[in-house]
Amino acid sequence: MNKIMYLEFERCIGCRACQAACRECGDHDAKERNYVEYVDFTESRQTFPMLCMQCKDPACARVCPANAIQITEEGVVLSAMEEKCIGCRNCTFGCPFGIPKFDFEKNKMYKCDMCYDRTREGISPMCASVCPSDAIRFIDFDEMQELRRRRTQMNLIEGKKPQEGNKWDYVPEFFGVYTDSNQ
């Protein structure tokens, strides 16, 4: 069973339930690790959720001088190991997506770990399980493929064609290809 985190930014209604849920997750120490941000606050109330992409070759781990960022066998990029992290914040600057957060008080970095204790068991992460508008979904690989096809069809029905500037509209983003332990 391949599970995938599927984000649709347009569906976000800005309720921040995902952030509240994130704070409740095990080992998150009552601090949220995901983001809900405004596209342009002066223009509209459109928000978007943002999570870690769980890169295959994460830039954050590559710029870490203490070698503190580890990747699990499932492909989840974990927060910096507390005993190694020297608190230099290189990861927050190296990450191309601006994901890792830094706790100045406790001198350590923390980031989205896809609720490792839940997803490890095939349970959907906290944010995806509470999202009321399905902006964040934790779905099967096949379901994701279906959504992608439908989205492309919809675009074609509306008479839109992919162009260099908007080709990504036709290939919805997915990330965090996730192999379950029940396999």
Query: What residues line the site for other proteins (CB under 8 A)?
Result: 9-10, 26-27, 29, 35, 37, 39-40, 42-46, 48, 50, 59, 62-67, 78-79, 81-84, 86-90, 92-99, 104-108, 113, 116-117, 164-166, 168-169, 173
60 versus 128: smaller Cβ distance to other proteins = 60
CB of 2 to other proteins, least distance (A): 22
78 versus 128: smaller Cβ distance to other proteins = 78
CB of 9 to other proteins, least distance (A): 5
CB of 75 to other proteins, least distance (A): 14
Which DSSP state fits 137? E
CB of 63 to other proteins, least distance (A): 5
Strand partners, 132: none
The encoded tokens of residue 12 equal 């976000």
88 versus 130: smaller Cβ distance to other proteins = 88
55 versus 128: smaller Cβ distance to other proteins = 55
CB of 133 to other proteins, least distance (A): 13
Nearest Cα to Cα of residue 20 among 114, 126, 125, 168:
126
162 versus 177: smaller Cβ distance to other proteins = 162
Which residues have a Cβ under 8 Å from the Cβ of 3 and sit 6 or more positions away?
119, 122, 124, 138, 139, 140, 141, 178, 180
Strand partners, 137: 6
State the residue for tokens 């870690």: 52
Q: What burial letters (b/e) apply to 69-90, b meaning 16+ CB within 10 Å? A: beeeebebbbbbeeeebeeeeb
The angle at the Cα of 58, spanning 1 to 88, to the nearest 5 degrees, equals 135
